[in-house]
Chain A
Amino acid sequence: MLTWDATSLRVRVVEPILAVMLTPEEARSTRVEIRPGDEEGWLILRLTVGPADEFVSYLYQPPSMTGWSQREIGQKLADELHDFIAESAFGWGQTRDADELLQSFEA
């Protein structure tokens, strides 16, 4: 059974996706925090981009995401970041995706 923890999610999912969905300047101003959620085993991702934009995602939620692949978790995160960036101060109205990267993720 495929299992995930905060470190593996950060290295194999979060950081690669941020690298393609944020500009280098935006990435340099981004703080990344992964902490336990309010249900057992859940991990919550919090991003602060620049001075004003904050993003929160329920990054990993067993049991409903137990066994999810790198690509499945990445697709969910990329979909949420797609909305966040389009509504942010730094990327207002832009449509960014990680489709090419996600094809290289383990399915």
Chain B
Amino acid sequence: MAGGATPAIFDTPPPVGSTGYHNIHCDVDKLFSDSDGSFGVQRKCGSGKAPWRYTFSPGLASICRDPVTERGLDWWVNAHRKPRQAPHIVPCVYVFHGTFTVGKGDYLWYTDRYLFQVQVDQETGDAELDIHGGLRFIGPAG
């Protein structure tokens, strides 16, 4: 699901203006969720900053074993790559977060990767979660 979590890797943004970008109205806290986790983003009207966050779902967190290694979020604005954001080694329940520098009309593509172990019953295995999404920052709703 674009804007949320998927098991795929997408390190090439779709064309600017294509349908791969979800509209993000300013002054609206938008949340995209699936069975792996939730990605939230918001931009205050008139602001050039958009904070984001990602959390594992309760189901995933319940089988995740600390710690999680986050690679660091890669992002593109209007198809121009921006510097990778900081990596983290943190507990499964951590609220991963950062800030996008974007303005009204910008198209943003992001992708991040999380490595950790999962335990189900007595079995332990390695897990890799890739998330990605496309966002288009626009004016107020209505």
Which A residues fall within an 8 A CB radius of B? 54-58, 61, 63-65, 76, 79-80, 83-84
Contacts and interface: CB of A to CB of B under 8 A. Distances in A.
A52 B72 CA distance: 21
A65 B86 contact: no
Closest 3 CB pairs of A and B: A80-B86, A58-B84, A61-B83
A15 B97 CA distance: 26
A54 B89 contact: yes
A64 B89 contact: no
| Most chain A beta-carbon contacts within 10 A, residue among B72, B83, B87, B97 | B83
A61 B84 contact: yes
A64 B81 CA distance: 6
16 contacts: A54-B89, A56-B86, A56-B87, A57-B86, A58-B72, A58-B83, A58-B86, A58-B87, A63-B81, A64-B81, A64-B82, A79-B99, A80-B85, A83-B86, A83-B97, A84-B86
A30 to B, nearest CB: 17
A57 B86 CA distance: 5
Contacts of B89: 54
Contacts of A61: 83-84
